[in-house]
Chain A
Amino acid sequence: MSRNHDRIEELLAVRALGGLDGEDVADLDRMLADHGDCEECRALEAASTATASALAMALDPLEVDPAMPERILADHAAEPEVRDDLAARRDREGPRWLAVAAVAAVVVLVAGSLAVIRNGSDDPPSNPAQRLVTFEGSDTATLAMAFVPGQSGVIFWGEGLPDPGQGQTYEIWMIEDDEPISGGCVSPTDGRVAAYVDADVTTAEQMAVTVEPASCPHDAPTGEIVLSATL
């Protein structure tokens, strides 16, 4: 073992049971991203989810409406999927595992984005295809996102963000056709956030940030929009 996985194992165990909240959510995502394409991380996650799911087997099975499977098949046939792949990503549980190449791309994006944001520069990003979008809605907080249209992967970086409060977190929303789709949650440390979301926001029209309960993601926002950006 070349890296220490104790902390990751601990947080994965809590997450597998559904108990992870607060800053630990972002901490775990960050550590997993730092580890990149980490075989041991995947093994630890698989072990945690398998153990957690075994708990369900302790329960006595309950009878399910026998018509349900046919209803699901019929409903699906009658109403074919209209949501795009952003919605599909929302349905997947847990963070994406970053390929080494993706991590490298992220580092490049972050470096370019930070320079532009910190300097307030109008200089174009180092990657000509890259888009840098700043959020509006706060006089004190700065939040920006960088992405390459048509590619999956968005970097969020911000500072001056107030603590969302005990048991709460910031949730990022991608809005398309008035449908908000969660892009995940971030919790600031000393007002700063740096997060990677494995999503293609090319088709999104707006981005928004709300304060939500720490359990994440949610199907729809419940809090007021504190920051927003038009793409």
Chain B
Amino acid sequence: MPSRRRWTGAVHPVGGHRRDREIFRGLGFAIALGPRSRPTGTTSSRSTSPPITRRWTCTTRCISEVPPTVDEPGAGRLLLRTHTSPVQIRVMHASEPPIRVIMPGMVYRSDAFDPSHAPAFEQIEGLAIDEGVSFVDLKATLTHFARRFFSPSTAVRFRPSFFPFTEPSAEMDVECQLCHGSGCGACKGTGWMEILGCGMVHRACSSRAASTRSATPASPSAWVPARITMLRHGVPDIRLLYEGDMRFLSQFTAARSSTGGDT
């Protein structure tokens, strides 16, 4: 006969970024969040807790797809940011190396809410700044991350790419988690899925920020936890992550014996 149980709760599969954090903690990274109410550009940003995120950017620059925008009387038109990167790099240069942090932050897009797009989601930035940090360290660190996140045998590849603030820039692909490389609809037949962008910070970015440390190499990277979580758990529709469906969320309870999967 069935046993007697109590209600068991579950941490959201993307909430807290438990897995990302554990893997990066093992590599000497801490997790950093921006104090939200602190005005940007103040001297307090040089303290040990790194203020990171500026949620708003002004609409002076053209962005091909305009993200959600608000119009505050007096404050002008404000865009909700589409990426967290450039500001973070600048600010992180205010702290002393060695810096190894991962930084989650919400980003906003003008995408419709459909099975593969959400208009708001968290992005995680990884950042390592220290003498001697090189492209080799970047690739090794992120390959380690991908193999720990998915499985030790996961194939990983780096492709040259272009981001305005890093050089060399790369995109990291992992083998398609559905077909494992043979090619399917989900990976458009390529056998690969793009999960992360990264590079070495361009000096033009760093020198504008903190002149004294401009020579310190920095390697940032950015990924979307929802995306890799969906791949890992086979979540077919991103909306499941945002709709509070108990039938979905309760599958992530730690003590779920029927499937025994790792959350």
- To the question of whether A and B form a pair in one complex, the answer is no
Chain B residues close to A by CB (< 8 Å): none
Chain A residues close to B by CB (< 8 Å): none
